[in-house]
Amino acid sequence: MPYPETATGFVIKDQKKWQEFHKEEFKLKPFEDRDIDIAIECCGVCGSDVHTINGGWGESPLPICVGHEVVGKAIKVGKDVKTIKVGDRVGVGAQIQADLTCGNCKADQENYCPNMVDTYGAPYSDGTISQGGYSSHMRAHEYFTFKIPDNIESEIAAPMLCAGLTVYSPLVRLGAGPGKKVAIVGMGGLGHFAVLWAVALGAEVYVLSHSPGKREDALKMGAKEFIVTGEKDWFKPYAYTFDFILNCADATHKFNLKDYFGTMKVMGRFHNVGLGTSPATDATSALLTS
């Protein structure tokens, strides 16, 4: 049974065989008045997708179709949709629904909604399991569907919908801007966006990386300095320097956090968005001794 009852996507059936994708149809949730149906053009590949399908973050409902950096065309809109019209190019990120009535939602913290639905691998109220963007179609709530500006190509916009938002949010919430010294740890999928956003916000940006390989790219993106944390005593010249450290690396378990914490100003903030599959280093002793 094809769309609009189902979508076709590439699913994983066994987390032990996570590199084996199978093309299958899966059920879409019932269409509601604020829903938007999207014919998918492209979807970014997020580290979360890999951790989900290979079991790094535990068991997932199988079969599962991942992908939550989705760009496509709106082909159907519910009668109460106000912000999107048929034909618009739109994007969807890592969350696809919330109740929008609870205290968290009303405080613009809908990602903490007790009734939130992730873009894939989460149950709707009718029991349907959400499936992601490695597929032909997606059905998304208007609140979590965004019109893509004409001057941004789809394949460029797609990774902004997870990786981009993941780092943009803490930078803005914690006041990265003129007069602030911001350190970005790691310059991969998350970190390169963090550098671009922090520079655009007007902060003085420093990139911390374990090796010198990305120095040239970091400086081209606008970073003031590139600091190689694999070098001995790298942290000493930067004691009490940074207002805010944003960790985008997923190897925090390998860090000597005491060295990083010692580079923050008094009342500085360390925010972690790099989430790998290994437990992070216990920060308690590092905080007490830095």
Q: What is the pTM of this model?
A: 0.89
Query: Residue range 132-141: average pLDDT?
Result: 98
Contact at 8 Å (CB) between 73 and 142? no
- Asked if residue 280 has pLDDT above 70, the reply is no
What are the residue ranges spanned by the domains of the chain? 6-158, 174-289
- How high is the pLDDT of residue 265? 97
* CA dihedral angle for residue 3, residue 91, residue 78, residue 108, rounded to 10 degrees: 140
pLDDT at 182: 99
9/91 Cα distance (integer angstroms): 18
| Whole-number Å distance between alpha carbons of 139 and 80 | 15
d(CA 69, CA 81): 22
Percent of the chain at pLDDT exceeding 90? 89
Q: Residue 203: which of 246, 146, 237, 161 has the closest Cα?
A: 246
At which residue do the structure tokens 């008094």 appear?
266
Which pLDDT score is estimated for 1? 64
Whole-number pLDDT of residue 277 = 66
Place of tokens 């949730």: 29
Residue 115 has pLDDT above 60, yes or no: yes
pLDDT band at 282 (very low <50, low <70, confident <90, very high): low
pLDDT band at 285 (very low <50, low <70, confident <90, very high): low
- What's the mean per-residue pLDDT of the chain? 94
Nearest one of 261, 157, 264, 245 to 194, comparing CA atoms: 245
Q: What is the CATH number of domain 6-158?
A: 3.90.180.10
Give the list of residues 6+ apart from residue 111 with CB closer than 8 angstroms, or none: 95, 98
Name which of 48, 94, 66 is nearest 250 in CA terms.
48
What confidence tens digit (pLDDT) does each residue in 166-192 have? 999 999 999 999 999 999 999 999 999
Q: What pLDDT is attached to residue 129?
A: 97
Of 100, 107, 112, 102, nearest in space to 34 by CA = 100
Burial 240-257 (b: 16+ CB within 10 A, else e): ebbbbbbbbbbebeebeb
State the pLDDT at residue 281.
58
Q: What is the homologous superfamily of the domain 174-289 according to CATH?
A: NAD(P)-binding Rossmann-like Domain (3.40.50.720)
How far apart, in whole angstroms, are the C-alpha atoms of residue 123 and residue 127? Answer: 6
pLDDT in tens, 49-88: 999 999 988 999 999 999 999 999 999 999 999 999 999 9
